[in-house]
Amino acid sequence: MEIEFGLEDLAKYPFLKEAGDYVKGLSLSIEDLRQDDYQPALKRAKDRVIEAIQKNFISIEILEPNLEILSFPLALMLVKAIGIDYFMHRYSLAESLRAERLLEKEKKSIISNIFKSAFNVDLISIEHDVFDFKMNMIDYLLRATHFHKPEWKLINRIVEKGFVYVKTHELVRLMREEIRRMVYERMKSLSLPKIPENVEEIVDEISKALPPVPSKELQEVTPGMFPPCVMHVLDLLQKGQNVPHYGRFLLTSYFLGIGKSVDEVINIYPKAPDFSERLTRYQVEHIAGMRGGRRRYKVPSCRTLITHGLCFKDKILCDRIKNPLQFGRKPVALKKEKTDDRV
C-alpha cells in the first residue's frame, strides 16, 4: 500500500523520499534560481544553514509548507558548496534534532509511515501499558548498535517471537541517528553543477557568518600510544560521529589524567557534530575539579568501561591492567584509594 503524506508532513520531514519527489515534480533547474520567484526559498535555505551551524538548531515553525520543503535541498546544496566536512556534520545533526523535536509530538501512524518510507522498516503499533510499538529484532539491532548505554542492549529489552518492544521516545531517538546519517550521506554524494552568481553570493554570505573551523586534532597524538578504549572514542570523533556521554567522560578524564591541560583536552572535541566550546569547557573543567564541588574525577576502571560497552581489550597490550592509565606501563598494583569514576 502506497504511503501518503500531506504537504505539512513533507515540510516537517523534508528528508523523506516523498518530499524529494515533490521537488522533482517542480522541474526546477539550477538556472531557475536566478528568478525572483525562488528568492524566498533561497533565503529560507540560507537562514536554515546559518541557524543550524551557529546554534545547532533549526526552527520547527512552518509558515509556508511549499517554501519549507524546497528550502531543504537548497540548504544541502549551500552547505555542500561551502565545501567543509565539519559544517556538513554540524548541519546533519541539526536537521536530525529538528526532526526529533517534531517526532516527539507526532501521531503513531505518522511515525510508522516515516519509518517505512525512510528506512523500509515495518513498525507494529501495540496497545500496552508501557510500550507503543514492536519492531523486528534485526531492524532494532541494526540501529541500536550505535548506542552504548545498557538499556539499548538486547538482553535488557522485552523480546517476543522475534520482535522488540519499544517506546515512542526510543523510536524517535533511533530515528534521529538514522536521519543524521541520511542527511550527511545525501550531502556527501551531492554532485554540484556550476551555481549561478546569486547563489555564489549567498554561499559567501553564509561562510562569513559561520564560526571558524576549530582545530580538529589533539596536539601530539601518536597513533597506538593510547589504550584501545580511548582510541575507539577518538576514532568516532575523527569521523565526526556522536560519542556517548560516558565515552566523553572517559576521554576527558584520561587525557587530564596523563597531564593534558584543559585547553588541550578541549581541542580533542571540535570535530564532534554537536560541538560547543562553551559547554565543552564547562564539562572539562567540571571533570578537572575546577567547578562545582571541586572534586577531580578519576579515569573509570576497565570493569566500569565493560559495563558501559566501552572496553575494546587487546589481549596482549591490555593484559593485567585494571585501568586505562596503566596501558603501556609495566604492570603495577593500583592504589587502594577509592576511585570516583561516576559522572
pLDDT per residue over 41-65, tens digit each? Answer: 999 999 999 999 888 889 999 989 9
* Chosen domain end from 179, 209, 239: 209
Q: What average pLDDT does range 264-268 have in this prediction?
A: 85
Please tell me whether residues 200 and 308 are part of one structural domain: no
Domain coverage including residue 270: 228-326
135: closest CA among 107, 154, 155? 154
Q: Which residue has the higher pLDDT, 129 or 146?
A: 129
Q: What average pLDDT does range 230-253 have in this prediction?
A: 85
* Chosen domain end from 158, 175, 209: 209
Please tell me whether residues 179 and 243 are part of one structural domain: no
Please tell me whether residues 248 and 193 are part of one structural domain: no
pLDDT at 329: 62
Please tell me whether residues 82 and 184 are part of one structural domain: yes
- The CATH number covering residue 165 comes to 1.20.930
Q: For the sheet containing 133-136, what is the strand order?
A: 123-125, 133-136, 163-166, 159-160
Between CA 181 and CA 91 the distance in angstroms is 11
pLDDT at 2: 64
Pair 10, 69: CB distance under 8 Å: yes
Please tell me whether residues 271 and 145 are part of one structural domain: no
Please tell me whether residues 92 and 202 are part of one structural domain: yes
Is 341 domain-assigned?
A: no
Residue 287: pLDDT above 60?
yes
- Residue 226 gets which letter from DSSP? S
Pair 269, 237: CB distance under 8 Å: yes
Please tell me whether residues 203 and 272 are part of one structural domain: no
Is 21 domain-assigned?
A: yes
Is 221 domain-assigned?
A: no
Residue identified by cell 569514576 is 341
Is 106 domain-assigned?
A: yes
pLDDT at 221: 39
274: closest CA among 180, 199, 207, 148? 180
Please tell me whether residues 71 and 186 are part of one structural domain: yes
Q: Is 194 exposed, middle or buried (0-12, 13-18, 19+ CB in 10 A)?
A: exposed
Between CA 85 and CA 159 the distance in angstroms is 39
251: closest CA among 313, 314, 325, 315? 325
Please tell me whether residues 184 and 249 are part of one structural domain: no
Is 79 domain-assigned?
A: yes
Residue 168: pLDDT above 80?
yes
Please tell me whether residues 246 and 179 are part of one structural domain: no
Is 338 domain-assigned?
A: no
pTM for this predicted structure: 0.65
Helix, coil or strand: residue 166: strand
Please tell me whether residues 202 and 321 are part of one structural domain: no
- Please give the tally of structural domains in the chain: 2
Residue 237: pLDDT above 50?
yes
Is 336 domain-assigned?
A: no
Pair 180, 96: CB distance under 8 Å: yes
pLDDT at 332: 37
Between CA 264 and CA 255 the distance in angstroms is 9
Please tell me whether residues 130 and 275 are part of one structural domain: no
Is 331 domain-assigned?
A: no
**In Å, how far are 52, 106, 141, 256, 323 from 273, measured between CA atoms?**
11, 26, 24, 22, 29
* Chosen domain end from 209, 244, 269: 209
Residue 238: pLDDT above 80?
no
Residue 334: pLDDT above 80?
no
